[in-house]
Amino acid sequence: MKIVVCVKQVPEVTNVQVDPKTGTLIREGVKSILNPFCEYALDHAVRIKDRFQDVSITVVSMGPPQARDVLMRSFELGADEGILITDRKFAGADTWATSLTLAEAIRIVVLDYDLVLVGKQAIDGDTAQVGPEIAEILGLPQITYAVDVTLASTRRQVRVTQEVEKGYEVIEASLPALVTCSKGEVVRRAPSFKDVINARQKPIRLVSASDLQIPEEQLGLQGSYTQVVKVFPPPAKKSNLLLQNLEAADAAREIFGFLKEKRFVE
């Protein structure tokens, strides 16, 4: 059985800033990490591999050459091989162009996949569109917002615990299928020193635009139906009232005075 996990390199959100003149994200000097939701998806894949025999995990990432770092991180966490889809022609891709490229790479390069796992969304864009679009392009049944993923005893279906508005549902889908993951185990695995060393020996295949059967006008910015016009931070919130080192009665008077000033109380 072959599991494909799509992973993305994203900026560490605590460090992201917006250029006030251009309205674009400032990426220079910002540390990049494996998207946390992609890590949940990978963790589910590794747990399936631990439970069932003859399971291999292929991680796929689309991005610049430095996206190799997230493939290496994925190897440390248990993936077996990686595919890096990288080409300047992919630059500026929106969710549709990205999904089309990833789906074609999975179809042509991976071939005999049984299960595709993706994070529900990337923390830099938060669109949650790529996973479902890949499923539609490949014609796969899909289950979204998974918090637990395993195989049925026959290994012909994937069994998913799905997060819904009022709790959880358990759903099965015939393989091959795609699952988007929103959560996982509270305690995730940490790679050992041996895992880190072995990760350097695992293969990474580079895939360029010429390797895919996609017309050039459907790639990158040319093939994007949407474009980001401007990125800007939300307006700064007004400072809150902070009370410290006061007796309870004094704090109550201060709070009451504040509420009265704002006309919340008479």
Q: Of the segments 77-81, 182-186, 242-246, which one has the largest average pLDDT value?
A: 77-81
Nearest to 209 by CA among 197, 199, 198, 222: 222
Q: Give the model's confidence band at 98: pLDDT under 50 very low, under 70 low, under 90 confident, else very high.
A: very high
Range of lowest pLDDT (99-113, 187-201, 233-247)? 233-247
C-alpha to C-alpha distance for 159 and 152, rounded to whole angstroms: 6
Residue 265 has what pLDDT? 84
pTM above 0.85, yes or no: no
137 membership: H or E segment, kind and range? helix 130-138
Specify which residues 84 forms β-bridges with: 61, 206
Cα–Cα dist 195/179, whole Å: 26
* Distances from the Cα of 115 to the Cα of 14, 33, 173, 228, angstroms: 33, 24, 10, 32
Whole-angstrom distance, CA of residue 62 vs CA of residue 71: 10
Task: State the pLDDT at residue 62.
Answer: 95
Helices (H), 193-264: 193-199, 248-261
Judged by average pLDDT, the poorest of 16-20, 90-94, 124-128, 178-182 is 16-20
Question: Cα 29 to the chain's mean position, in Å?
Answer: 22
- Distance between CA atoms of 34 and 124, rounded to whole angstroms? 11
Query: Across residues 220-230, what is the average pLDDT?
Result: 85
CB 29 within 8 A of CB 130: no
pLDDT above 60 (res 127): yes
Percentage of the chain beyond pLDDT 90 is: 63
User: CATH homologous superfamily of domain 2-218?
Assistant: HUPs (3.40.50.620)
46-75 pLDDT tens trace? 999 999 989 999 999 999 999 999 999 999
- Sorted by where each begins, the domain ranges of the chain are 2-218, 236-266
